[in-house]
Chains A and B, each alone.
Chain A
């Protein structure tokens, strides 16, 4: 009898154990979808600097982006995070393949699939990284292709990037150390990495620290090593900076100051750098926001240094990370395909603000914080109102200037034949209003108009270029 009871109890215990798995895997799926319809005289679905033109017929197009995120969570201390992206413009491209006659691909790959019948292989990798805590330590490690935004509000680096980043919390202090490898050296003719791998890279290393002095005051600092040895024109410079955020009554004030020093043998922004240019640049920011009425009022100021004299052997322009791929000789940093941002501005056309974008269209007057070696001054003010729990409206105004002018960007007055001396790029006003159709789905309208400044005076065949504008209707779904 006793035996039977023991067997029964054991069976019950076993079944209980079987029914509650000790290591239940948590599968988490999230994502977003954004559809935008554009009516604009300055955007075309691409990315890069917005160069004002004499006159242009307004473009209208639909653009969509989906992002899918899957996390495989073994437990609270260990997970694999993945993210994917699918971008398309309605009617653009589909059915990519190799053209028999030219033996070239027909480009229906990334950002395609919006043409008739779709049928494009257009799934992009965004994130793939392991996120885990080291047992019995306060250390968290993220290893793999991950999102990273610098402690200077993204003006140096804001991108998806492959590397290893370890952070730790000790009471009120936080520290972090990271190593990222944006590119290996490549044999351009074959598209293969230069052997042995890992010897001639573009590397970025980061050290960060943060301390909560009180619940209302946080101070921090960061250091970045930018070291690009892919070609025989290397570039290595250091970025040091401090930042702080304080709550003062109902207001939150934040800012940073950063300095760059190093050298570059690359021909950056037309600088005469062949013999080796010294980098000597800086940036500063201060911003405030305060809750007032039904929303938040905000002001912000950003300065990045620029370079005027290209022959003095010193590059004073703030260096920002951008995509620099495929070259056998030298790269042009700070150029096309920015990997930095300044979202605090609230601008849509004036500067690169990833928060106002959300689809592939990514075109701005100040496209990188380097601004073609000229640096930038961006002064903005705005108000974000929550009118009802379902309805919101935002308005922003902002002015942009170059810190220094140089001839690398065409701003020649046709009447005088020389570059305009004015630093004033223009002033943007914009609005956004949105309504939550569901908790997850928001319909919104964005519009921006940029009054061009005297920097562009008479720069298009003796006439001023037309002021850029954009109007967008959007649907945003997040789950």
Chain B
């Protein structure tokens, strides 16, 4: 069975949900500890959301120097699929695996809502089970979610098709060009602010077409990587 590592830093909140999402998609979740510089032979890694190290210094800034991150950075540069969700996305930007950075939401409030995204790149390791232009609804919850980068970087991301998700309808945090998620050039590293792992099982997700809490639009992140690894 495909083994997908889920990292726990001090202050990580969504590691158990991420592990559950991996299991529901058909993979085997493997817990990875921030202080353990060993990936235990996993086939992919999820950096889950939360407030690692209390967001001290900057969101994700201290986690980036955790022993496990050295291994993840090396492996990601060699093609290991890595998904950073929310705080995990912030860790990936601090680790320079993804460009840009996140600052406080433009309206200064914590935001928690069911957010519609358009999927703009379905060639990454984490999005191949979606169709291009598809609208999906998954939860969004953050304080420092405003994606910023200079125009040169933004133009490069757009030109190379590396804007993977864009906020649809409303930009909930002032992110430049409505960007919700991006990938590296190879497409194995993806980061996004909203939370796919909270929309993977009927009864516990956002409202969906079949009724309240039936939305499971996030599940295909995790089936995508399994497909990518098998194929």
Do the two shown chains form a genuine complex with each other? no
Q: Which A residues fall within an 8 A CB radius of B? A: none
